[in-house]
Structure 1
Amino acid sequence: MERNNAIDFIKFFAILSVVVIHVFPRDSQIGLFILDNFSRFAVPFFFTASGYLFGQKMIHKRDSFDYFKKYIIKILKLYLCWLFFYMMYDVLILYKDAADVPKEFAQYINHFSFLDLIYYGTGTSGYQLWFLTALIWSVIILFGFFKLKKARLLLTISLIFNLLGLFGQSYSVFYDLPL
């Protein structure tokens, strides 16, 4: 499959948008409000681009399940490596700052849950790992709909959920959807 330069071009602006979302202060200035909300296309774009590229590979591969399995394992390895990194980082900070290290360490270990690690991608200071767990679940869902030949239905459902999420969070200034 050839490289898609249009996707790479938009990725550049999406990366800048992610930086804008996380760096600019949240205050009442209208310019920052507009900039922050305009930048909200970035994360849905990354999911859409990943799904599109995954789908293209699925179309062109004879053994689509084998490709699916390799893709999931690759993302899972990436997630687990970074999860281990952030866990070690957290433990080092704990040993540096804690007065009662065994008690603090026990609390750190006890606050982990399977749901946090596998579904939400949280539990460590590496909160940004949520993207990898969400990508894994998204690819699993996409693969299932792809096998059922219902990818267009999934696109429609995803668009509806995305709009609901936007009005439930980012665009609640316009219409507050309490979900």
Structure 2
Amino acid sequence: MRERIHSIDTLRAIAIFFITIAHVQPFRGFGTHGNLVFFVLDTIGQFDVPFFFVTSGFFLGAKLHTTSVKSIVRGTGRKLGSIFVFGKLVSVTAAVAVAAIVGSSVMSELSDALFNFSPASLLYYGDAQAVPLWFLSALFFSIVLVSGFVKFDKIRYLLPVAALFHVVGILSMNYPMVLDVPFRIRDALFFGFFYVALGYTIRTTEWTPKENHSHLYLGAVGFFLGAQLIEQYAIGYIIGENVLTQTVYLTEYTISTVLLVLAIFAYALSNPQLGKNTILPTVGRHALGIYLLHLPVFYLLHATKQFWIPVIGFPLPATLLWQLTITPLVYVLALGTYLAMARLGVIDPEGSHIPWLSRLRSRGGLSVRSRLSNE
């Protein structure tokens, strides 16, 4: 598996599309049938974030060893830290721009971004004023946890311990009558840790699903998609007693999600050329950029509708056309913006997302050395 696994890149492109759906929420509130469509789309897409965790763990397994733990954790922290800072800057910039467009207080937005959060919210949960960034924090701490088991040579306990925490998270989130944990559980310990550990275990045990079994794995994907829909509906509308015509019940992950993600990843490994001759693998390699930019793009689109709705002459967001096209539009605009930033040198997709900071430091260092040499 040293060659590029096109199927994983293809599924990244698909997974990030479902993440965009989850945040843009097309069809939600668009009548009973609209709620049903969004419920189905969002539930099907619950494999998305876990898939990215598993993928990270899978590639981590190729390079994380007892002697490389320190360098891996340091390098991961540096890279994810730069991405986090970039995402935070984009989020704050978008919030300020939206405030300016709609006429609300720009200073209030800046104040919230700079001061209105707790240290735990910023450093551990990663959602201070920029909710999607929680993934980066969860991924880093999940890698730290996995690295700890590797460092102390306790790999045989890794997946069981991670699974135990994840079961606690699942029960507390979806079945509080069984177990109710009095703190937040969409984090590294109860969510990301398990899926990163799962990917790491798949790689280090060298499990290679056979290509001639790919149709069986695809069948398993379909089966567990159905199981997830049933479980999600039961949690929200039978146990939770919600009414679909009034609300769309959403949760982060379920028991079925584990089996679905495992089936999807097995299918990807059994069919590594999936999507090779399409644009999807290329898009999938830039999934992170779409993740970081899709919400700012969406918020800006909504903020500017006061300008373009009078031009077109009717409320486009209230139409079926908008519901059908808004997610692909945000997806494409986010990808295009990210690629433009990369071309302009604002970011390095393969490295630091704040290379300009290094350049500023370099210039500052050169200036200091120049002054010292002149003296």
What's the TM-score, normalizing by structure 1? 0.74
Alpha-carbon distance change, 37 to 89 in structure 1, aligned in 2, over 3 angstroms: closer
For residues 138 and 78 of structure 1, what CA distance do their matches in structure 2 show? 16
Shift of 1:62: 5.5
Higher helix fraction: Structure 1 or Structure 2? 1
User: Could you list the per-position Cα deviations for residues 67-117 of structure 1 after superposition, in whole angstroms to 9, with x for gaps in the alignment?
Assistant: 321122111111012213323443455566346x76775565441221111
Q: Which of 129, 135, 144 is 1:140 aligned to?
A: 144
- Mapping for residues 1-179 of structure 1, pairs under 5 Å: 1-22=2-23, 23-26=25-28, 29=33, 30-59=36-65, 63-91=68-96, 93=98, 97-98=103-104, 106=111, 109-124=114-129, 126-166=130-170, 168-169=173-174, 171=232, 172-173=235-236
Distance 1:103 1:26 in 2: 29
Asked if 1 retains the 8 angstrom alpha-carbon contact of 2:96 and 2:109, the reply is no
Tell me if structure 2 keeps the 8 A contact 1:94–1:105.
no
Q: Larger RCO: Structure 1 or Structure 2 (Cα < 8 Å, ≥ 6 residues apart)? A: 2
Task: Please tell me whether the aligned partners of residues 19 and 45 of structure 2 are also in contact (alpha carbons under 8 angstroms).
Answer: yes
Change (3 A) 1:10 1:122: same
1:42 deviation in Å? 1.0
Separation in structure 2 between the aligned mates of residue 102 and residue 11 of structure 1, nearest angstrom: 37
C-alpha distance after superposition, 1:116-156 (max 9, x if no partner): 111121222x3211111111111111111222233453323
* Local SS of the residue matching 2:62: helix
CA distance in structure 1 between the partners assigned to 2:44 and 2:111 by the alignment: 43
Match of 2:227 in 1: none
Asked if the contact 1:145–1:151 (Cα under 8 Å) also holds between the matched residues in 2, the reply is yes
Name the amino acid aligned to 1:122: D
> Aligned partners of 2:137 and 2:94: how far apart in 1?
20
* Structure 1 residues 141 and 43: CA distance shift in structure 2, 3 A: same
Q: Judging changes above 3 Å, is the alpha-carbon distance between structure 1 residues 12 and 153 closer, same or farther for their aligned structure 2 residues?
A: farther
Q: In 2 relative to 1, CA 24–146 (structure 1 residues): closer, same or farther, beyond 3 Å?
A: farther
- Whether the 8 Å CA contact 2:27–2:37 is kept in 1: the answer is no
Identity of aligned residues (%): 27
Q: Distance in 2 between matches of 1:84 and 1:133?
A: 16
CA shift in 2, pair 1:55/1:84, >3 Å: same
Contact 1:68 1:143 in 2 (8 A): yes
Identify unmatched segments of 5+ residues in structure 1.
Answer: none
Asked if the contact 1:122–1:129 (Cα under 8 Å) also holds between the matched residues in 2, the reply is yes
3-state secondary structure, aligned to 2:27: coil
Q: Give me the whole-angstrom Cα distance separating, in 2, the residues matched to 1:46 and 1:165.
A: 18
Aligned residues: CA RMSD: 3.2
Give the stretch that moved more between structures: 109-118 or 45-54: 109-118
Q: Is the 8 A contact 2:69 2:150 kept in 1?
A: no
Q: Count how many residue pairs are aligned between Structure 1 and Structure 2.
A: 173
* Cα distance in 1 for residues equivalent to 2:169 and 2:152: 26
Question: Quick check: which has more Rg, 1 or 2?
Answer: 2
